[in-house]
Amino acid sequence: DEDKVFQVSNIEWDTEDSSGEGPEGLDLPKSLTVNVPDEHLSSYEDTEEFISDFISNVTGFTHKGYNTNPDI
């Protein structure tokens, strides 16, 4: 069982403006690399939730969507 690596890009941050600048003027990343453990690859929902939680845990911000390569 192996992790699967996803390149997450075009993250649409849930901030006060759409530029990616947070309310405190944070420069949020446009992309991240996420290693998804095998046990979270069984369904689209589980994989999507893992990536979503990872993004929020790493940055401290929630988001409204993102793209992945490869697709989930």
Number of domains in the chain: 1
Which pLDDT belongs to residue 14? 84
Which pLDDT belongs to residue 4? 97
Cα–Cα dist 19/69, whole Å: 22
- Characterize 15-36 residue by residue with b for buried, 16 or more Cβ atoms within 10 angstroms of its Cβ, and e for exposed: beeeeeebeeeeebeeebebeb
Of residues 45 and 2, which shows the higher confidence score?
45
Instruction: Give the model confidence (pLDDT) of 10-53 as tens digits.
Output: 999 887 655 555 555 677 888 999 999 999 999 999 999 999 99
Which pLDDT belongs to residue 28? 86
Which pLDDT belongs to residue 17? 57
Domain of 54, in residue numbers:
4-69
Per-residue pLDDT, averaged over 49-62, amounts to 94
